[in-house]
Structure 1
Amino acid sequence: MKSYLRPYSGRLTAIWLTSFTGIAIGIAIPLVGKQIVNGPVARGDTGALFPLALLALALGAVEALFVLVRRWLLADAVIGLETAIRDDLYRHLQRLPMSFHGAWQSGQLLSRVTTDLSTIRRFLGFGMLFLVLITVQITAVTVLLFQMYWPLGLLVAGSAVPVVVVSMRFEKGYIAISRQVQDEQGDLATVVEESAGGIRTIKAFGRGGHVFDVFDDGARKVYRTSMEKVRLSARFFTFLEVVPNLTLALVLLLGALAVGSDRLLPGDLMAFTVLMLQLVWPISSLGFILAMAQEAMTAADRVAEVLDTDPDIVGGAKAIDRPRGHLRFEGVEFRFPGAAEPVLRDVWLEVRPGETVAVVGATGSGKTTLTSLVPRLHDVTAGRVTIDGRDVRDLPLPVLRSLVATAFEEPTLFSMSVRENLALGRPDATDEEIEAAIEVAQAGFVHGLPWGLATRIGEQGMSLSGGQRQRLALARAVLSRPKILVLDDTLSALDVETEALVEEALRRVLRDATGIVVAHRASTVLLADRVALLLDGTVAHVGRHHELMAAVPEYRALLSAGLDADDADDDADDGLDDDLDGLDAEGALR
C-alpha cells in the first residue's frame, strides 16, 4: 500500500493539514461564542459584540474553504489510488497461469476487480480519514470539556465506555458477515456470467426456468445474509444514536442546575453544549465508519488473495536470434496438480522447421494438453520443450508467444470489431495482410456483415456460427505469422467443401512455419508430413500416414472410425453446414 500512496504523499500531507486545521477552527468557534455570551451579551456592550461576531463568521468561512480543498484533494488521490490498484490487479491476472484461472470462478474475480476495489476506495476516501479525525476530535473536545467543567466532562467521558465495549463486540460479528455477503455476491456474479456466456445452450435445451431457479436461490441467499447484516448494523446504530442523545439531555439538565447555582456561567454552558453537539455526529457515525472499515478489510483480504498469488509460469531472459521454429519434446511428462496419474509421460517428438506433424489419439489421450505446453499455457512437470535447442522456460513469455500462435477448437472471440479480433496478435497488420489471412481461412463471409470488418460481433462471437468462429480464429493465428503454428482441431466445425479449401490454403502457409495439427479427420491428417500417435499418454508411433495405416492397427482403427463418421455426416448434411453459415452471416447480426 505504501508504494501506491507514495505518488500522493504531498497531497496527503495537505489533506491532513487542512483536516486538523478544520477541527481546530470548529472547536474555536464555540469558544468565541462563549466569549460573546459571557462578555458583550452579559454586559449589554453591542460595540464589542460585532468584532467577535465577525471573527466567528470568518472562522466559519475558513473552515468551509478547508473542507472544500480537503474533499477535492482527497477525491483525486483516492480515485487515482483505486485506478492504480485495479490496473495492477488486472495486470497480475494476465500473468497468472491457466491453472489459477481454471480453479477460480470468473464471478469471484469480477467481484474483486469491481465491487471490492470500490469498497476499499470508499473507506480510503471517507472512512479512514474520518476515523482519525473523529478520534482526534473526541479526544480534544473531551479534554476541553474537563477543563471547562469537570463533572460534565466526566459524564461525557463515561458515556464513551459502553460505546467502546459494544463497538468491539460489533466488530467481531461484522467481519464474518461482511465476508459471507461478499463471497455470496461473487458466486451470484458467476451464475450471471456463465448464463450470459451459455445463453445459446440454455435456450436450445429450454432450461431458462432451471437457470432462473439457480439464480433465484443465489439471490435469496445474498438477501438473507444481507438482511442479517442489516439487523446487526441496525442494533448497533440504534445504540449509538441513543447514547449521545441521552448524554446530551443529561448535560443540559445538569448544566442548567450548575448555572442556576452560579457554578457555571451561561456562556460556558452554551459553549459546552455546542462542543457536546460536535460529538453527537462523530459518535453516531462511529458505527457506520467501523462497519465500512470491516468491509474494506474484508475486501482488501479478497484482493490480496489474488495479488499474493505468485505466478508459477514466469519467463526467462534469453531471446532467440533469428528463430527457425525447430520444436522438440524431450522426455516430457505432465500431470495436473493433485492428479494421481500423469496425462502425458515420456513424450519424445521432434518437428523440424517447415515440417507439419499431425497428433492423433483417442479422446482424452492428451492431444490438447501436449499442444498447450508449447506456448506454456501449462508447464511440463518433467522433461522439457525446446525451440531451436532453447528450453521454452528460458524464453521471455512475450517472445515465446510471438513465436507460437494457436487456433483452438473452441475459439474465443471478443466483443469488438472483426478487424480488432483478427489483429489481436498483430495490431500493426496491414489491410493486405488481413485480407490474405481471411482468404487462407476462407472467412470471406466477413465482407457480407453489415459493416464488413468494422462490424462489432457479440460477446464470445455468439452472433456467428461455429464454423465462422473457427475460421476467424484460424485467420487470427495465420495473421500473426508465427514460426510455430498450432491447430487444435481447428477445422472440426467446417463442412467438407470449406475444409478442403482451407486445407489447400493452409498447405501454403505451413511451408513457412513449423506446424502441429491436432487431427480427428483423415482429411486433416493429410495436411501433415508425419503423424504422431498418442497412446496411453505417450507418443507410441511416428511416421507417414500410409506407413502407420499399414503397420499400426490402433492408428488404422482411429482413422477408420473418423472416416466412417465423416461419411455419415456427408450423407446426412449434404452441405447443410455451409448453408447455415450463409444464413448466419446474413441474419444473425441484424
Structure 2
Amino acid sequence: MATTQETPGSSSERSAVRTLLRLWPYVRPVRARWFTAAAVAVVASCLALVIPLVLKWMVDGPITDRDPAGVWLGALFLLLLGIGEALLFGLRRWLVARPLAGVEASMRAELYRHLQRLPVAFHDRWASGQLLSRGTTDLMLVRMFLAFPLTFLLVNSVTILAGVVIMLVQDVTLGLVILVPAVPVMVMCVVFEKRYALVARRAQDQVGDLTTLVEESVLGIRIIKGFGRHRSQARAFREMARTLRGTELHKARLLATIWAVIITLPELAIGAALVLGTVRVADGELSAGTLVAFLSTALALRWPVDSIGFLLAMSQEAATATERYFEVMDEAPESRAVVAETGADRADRGLRFEGVRFRYPDAPEDSPPVLDRIDLHIRPGESLALVGATGSGKTTLTALVPRLYELTAGRITLDGKDVAAMPREELRALVAVAFEEPTLFSASVADNVLMGTAADAGEPELERALAVAQAGFAHDLPHGTATQVGEQGLSLSGGQRQRLALARAVVGRPRFLVLDDPLSALDVHTESLVEAALRDVLADTTALIVAHRPSTVLLADRVALLSEGRIAAVGTHHELLRDNAEYAYLMAGAEEAAR
C-alpha cells in the first residue's frame, strides 16, 4: 500500500498566508458577494458594541433619574439593535453560501480535469486515497475557511480594535488593565500556529492513507475473503485509525492549551478591571454607567477574543488543505512539446521504433534502463508479436506507443510522424490499446465498449466489436448490453472482462492496434474463435501484440524476441524456433503450460 506522500513544501517551510493567497483566482469571480458579506458582518458585529453605549446612557440617565419612559426607550433601542444584528448575520450567510459552494465545485472539477491530464508516471507514484481525500475532505475545509474563518478573522479584528478604542475612551486606566494580556496571548498564538500547522498536515495525510486502505480493501474484497485476510486487514485499519486518533487528540490538546490561555488571561483582566472600577465608582471617580458600559464592552469582546484559537486552527487546516490541493495542481501535465518533423517516405510508413531507450521517471539516473536501443519496424498492415520472459519490458514497450510514458531517448513514429510531435487526441485516435489486466467502468456494457470509438458510434459498431471479441454473452445479461457491469467490472468473469476490453480496442477500426496479451484469460475454445475473428481485423491494421502462447504468436506475420530490455531477434515464428534457443525455450514452456 502506498504511504503518505513526501512533498517539498512541508508545513514547517510554507507561509500559511502565501498558501491561502493562491485561492484568490478561484474566489475572484465571487469577490463582490464575499466582500459585501464581510462588510455586513462587520456592521453586525459593530452593532453589538453600540449596546454598551446604550446601557451607559440608560444607567446614567433614565435609571438614575428614575425615568420609566427613558428606560422603555432604551429597552426598545436594545431590542432593535439585537434584531438588526441577527438579520445582518443571516444576510451574510445567505450571501456566501451559494457562491462558495460554487468555488468548491469549480476547484473539484479543475482537480479532476487536471488528474486526467497528468502522466501515468504520476498515478504510479500517488496513492488513490491521497488523491481522493484532496478532492473531498481538503476542498470541504477550504470552503469552510472561505465561509467562516476568513470572514471572522477580519470581522473579529475590526471588532476588537473598535472595542479597545471604545474602552480607552470610556476610561484609559481600565483600558490599559484590559490590554495587559494582549502580549502573552499574541506570543502564544504564534507558537500555536507553527505547532498546529505540523499536526494538521500529519492528520490530513493520515486521512489520505486511511482512505487508500479502505479503497483497496473494497476493491480487493475477493482476495481478502479468498485468503481469509479479513482479520489482518481489520487490524491494519485499526492501527491506522488509532494513529489518526492520536494525531487528532494532539490537535485537540494544542487547541485546548491555546484556548485556556486565550480565555483565562482576558477573564483575569476583566476581573481586575471590575474590582478597580468598583473601587473608583465608590470613590466617585467613575460613574456607574461608565463602568457598566466598560464591562459590557469587555464582555462583548469575549467571543471575538475566545474565537481566535479555533479560527487560527481552522485557518491552518485550510492552509494545509490548500497546500495539498496545489501539490497535485502544480504537477506538470503530459508534455505537449513539439518535435520537428521530417518528410516521410514509403519506408517510414507503419509503426517504427528508432533507438528507443526508457527508464522510469522515478528511477535513479545510474540505474540500467528498462528498454535500451530498441529498433523495430512494423510495416503498414503487418502484425508483429512481441515475445519475452517475464520482466523483459514487453508491457512497458507497448505503453510507449500511445505515450502513456515519455521516452528517455530515441523516437517512435506512426507513418513517419513522431508521436512526440502529435497532439495526444490525434495520437490516441489512431492507436487503440487492450491491456492484459482489463479495466471496466461502472457503466453499461455498451458504454464500456463504445468508449473506444467516436461519440456518434452506435449499435452496428457495437455488434461488430462484440462479434470480433466473441462477447455475445453480453446479450444474455439481465438487460443485454445496457446491463451495468459494476465497479471494475467485477460482476463479470476475467475472460468476459478481457473480451469486452478487446471489443473496446477494435470497435473504432483503429489504424494501429496495440494488444498486451489480450487472450490470456480465455479458454482454448473461445481463444480459437477470437483468433479467427481477429485475423480479419489484423488484415486492415498495423498491430503490435504481446504474446505468450504459440497460438497468439501465430496471429502475427513476424515475431520480435525481447530479452533484458533489448531486441534479441526478429523473424517468423518458425525461423526463431529453428535458430534461437531462448525463443524455442519460451515457446516450449508455453506449450507445456497450455497442456
Measured in 2, the distance between the counterparts of 1:363 and 1:334 equals 17
Indicate the residue corresponding to 1:579 in structure 2.
Answer: none
Indicate the residue corresponding to 1:31 in structure 2.
Answer: 53
Indicate the residue corresponding to 2:132 in structure 1.
Answer: 110
The yes-or-no answer on 1:414 pairing with 2:428 is: no
The yes-or-no answer on 1:536 pairing with 2:558 is: no
Q: Secondary structure at the match of 1:411?
A: coil
Q: How many residues align?
A: 567
Q: Secondary structure at the match of 1:32?
A: helix
Equivalence map 1:51-130=2 (5 Å): 51-130=73-152
Q: Secondary structure at the match of 2:49?
A: helix
Indicate the residue corresponding to 1:262 in structure 2.
Answer: 284
The yes-or-no answer on 1:556 pairing with 2:584 is: yes
Measured in 2, the distance between the counterparts of 1:420 and 1:38 equals 79
Measured in 2, the distance between the counterparts of 1:115 and 1:134 equals 27
Indicate the residue corresponding to 1:364 in structure 2.
Answer: 391
Equivalence map 1:127-146=2 (5 Å): 127-146=149-168
Measured in 2, the distance between the counterparts of 1:545 and 1:362 equals 16
Equivalence map 1:169-318=2 (5 Å): 169-311=191-333, 313-314=335-336, 316=338
Indicate the residue corresponding to 2:511 in structure 1.
Answer: 483
Q: Secondary structure at the match of 2:515?
A: strand
CA spacing shift, 1:373–1:43, aligned 2, 3 Å: same
AA at the equivalent of 1:527: L
Measured in 2, the distance between the counterparts of 1:394 and 1:40 equals 86
Contact 2:117 2:334 in 1 (8 A): no
Cα deviation code 1:394-423 (max 9, x no counterpart): 111122112111111011112222222222
* Bigger mean CA offset, 537-546 vs 134-143: 537-546
Contact 1:313 1:376 in 2 (8 A): no
Measured in 1, the distance between the counterparts of 2:350 and 2:24 equals 46
The yes-or-no answer on 1:333 pairing with 2:360 is: no
CA spacing shift, 1:317–1:330, aligned 2, 3 Å: closer
Contact 1:116 1:303 in 2 (8 A): yes
Measured in 1, the distance between the counterparts of 2:188 and 2:399 equals 56
The yes-or-no answer on 1:149 pairing with 2:176 is: no
Measured in 1, the distance between the counterparts of 2:582 and 2:314 equals 65
The yes-or-no answer on 1:453 pairing with 2:477 is: no
Measured in 2, the distance between the counterparts of 1:465 and 1:393 equals 37
Indicate the residue corresponding to 1:396 in structure 2.
Answer: 423
AA at the equivalent of 1:406: V
Measured in 2, the distance between the counterparts of 1:478 and 1:18 equals 61
Measured in 1, the distance between the counterparts of 2:447 and 2:175 equals 69
CA spacing shift, 1:282–1:325, aligned 2, 3 Å: farther
Indicate the residue corresponding to 1:348 in structure 2.
Answer: 375
Indicate the residue corresponding to 1:462 in structure 2.
Answer: 490
Measured in 2, the distance between the counterparts of 1:98 and 1:487 equals 18
The yes-or-no answer on 1:428 pairing with 2:456 is: yes
Measured in 1, the distance between the counterparts of 2:260 and 2:97 equals 30
Contact 1:318 1:395 in 2 (8 A): no
Query: Deviation at 1:316?
Result: 4.5
Measured in 2, the distance between the counterparts of 1:22 and 1:325 equals 74
Indicate the residue corresponding to 2:534 in structure 1.
Answer: 506
Indicate the residue corresponding to 1:380 in structure 2.
Answer: 407
Q: Secondary structure at the match of 1:487?
A: strand
Contact 2:38 2:155 in 1 (8 A): no
Task: Mark the runs of 5 or more structure 2 residues left unpaired by the alignment.
Answer: 1-22, 343-347
CA spacing shift, 1:452–1:358, aligned 2, 3 Å: same
Measured in 2, the distance between the counterparts of 1:418 and 1:37 equals 79
Query: Deviation at 1:470?
Result: 0.4
User: Quick one: which of 456, 462, 466 aligns to 1:438?
Assistant: 466
Measured in 2, the distance between the counterparts of 1:200 and 1:260 equals 81
* Bigger mean CA offset, 454-463 vs 277-286: 454-463
Measured in 2, the distance between the counterparts of 1:540 and 1:79 equals 59
AA at the equivalent of 2:79: L
Cα deviation code 1:220-244 (max 9, x no counterpart): 1112222222222222223323233
Contact 1:15 1:73 in 2 (8 A): yes
Query: Deviation at 1:310?
Result: 1.6
Q: Secondary structure at the match of 1:364?
A: coil
CA spacing shift, 1:298–1:471, aligned 2, 3 Å: same
Query: Deviation at 1:254?
Result: 2.5
Indicate the residue corresponding to 1:497 in structure 2.
Answer: 525
Q: Secondary structure at the match of 2:110?
A: helix
CA spacing shift, 1:122–1:161, aligned 2, 3 Å: same
Q: Secondary structure at the match of 2:457?
A: coil
Measured in 1, the distance between the counterparts of 2:473 and 2:149 equals 56
Measured in 1, the distance between the counterparts of 2:300 and 2:380 equals 79
Contact 2:430 2:512 in 1 (8 A): yes
Measured in 1, the distance between the counterparts of 2:245 and 2:77 equals 53
Measured in 1, the distance between the counterparts of 2:40 and 2:277 equals 33
Measured in 1, the distance between the counterparts of 2:317 and 2:328 equals 17
Contact 1:19 1:70 in 2 (8 A): yes
CA spacing shift, 1:317–1:123, aligned 2, 3 Å: farther
Q: Secondary structure at the match of 2:301?
A: helix
Contact 1:258 1:264 in 2 (8 A): yes
Measured in 2, the distance between the counterparts of 1:200 and 1:24 equals 61
AA at the equivalent of 2:110: D
Contact 1:548 1:555 in 2 (8 A): yes
Query: Deviation at 1:502?
Result: 0.8
Q: Secondary structure at the match of 2:129?
A: helix
Contact 2:385 2:553 in 1 (8 A): yes
Measured in 1, the distance between the counterparts of 2:183 and 2:561 equals 77
CA spacing shift, 1:325–1:224, aligned 2, 3 Å: farther
Query: Deviation at 1:272?
Result: 1.7
Measured in 2, the distance between the counterparts of 1:190 and 1:318 equals 42
Indicate the residue corresponding to 1:517 in structure 2.
Answer: 545
Measured in 1, the distance between the counterparts of 2:101 and 2:340 equals 39
Indicate the residue corresponding to 1:15 in structure 2.
Answer: 37
Contact 1:357 1:529 in 2 (8 A): yes
Measured in 1, the distance between the counterparts of 2:167 and 2:378 equals 85
Measured in 1, the distance between the counterparts of 2:304 and 2:341 equals 60
Q: TM-score when scaled to structure 2?
A: 0.90
Contact 1:325 1:483 in 2 (8 A): no
Q: TM-score when scaled to structure 1?
A: 0.91
Measured in 1, the distance between the counterparts of 2:69 and 2:258 equals 49
Cα deviation code 1:440-492 (max 9, x no counterpart): 11111122222222222232122211111101111111123322111100100
Task: Mark the runs of 5 or more structure 1 residues left unpaired by the alignment.
Answer: 569-590
RMSD of aligned Cα (Å)? 2.4
Contact 2:339 2:418 in 1 (8 A): no
CA spacing shift, 1:276–1:345, aligned 2, 3 Å: same
Q: Secondary structure at the match of 1:43?
A: coil
AA at the equivalent of 2:467: E
Measured in 2, the distance between the counterparts of 1:435 and 1:513 equals 19
Measured in 2, the distance between the counterparts of 1:257 and 1:154 equals 16
AA at the equivalent of 1:199: I
Q: Secondary structure at the match of 2:42?
A: helix
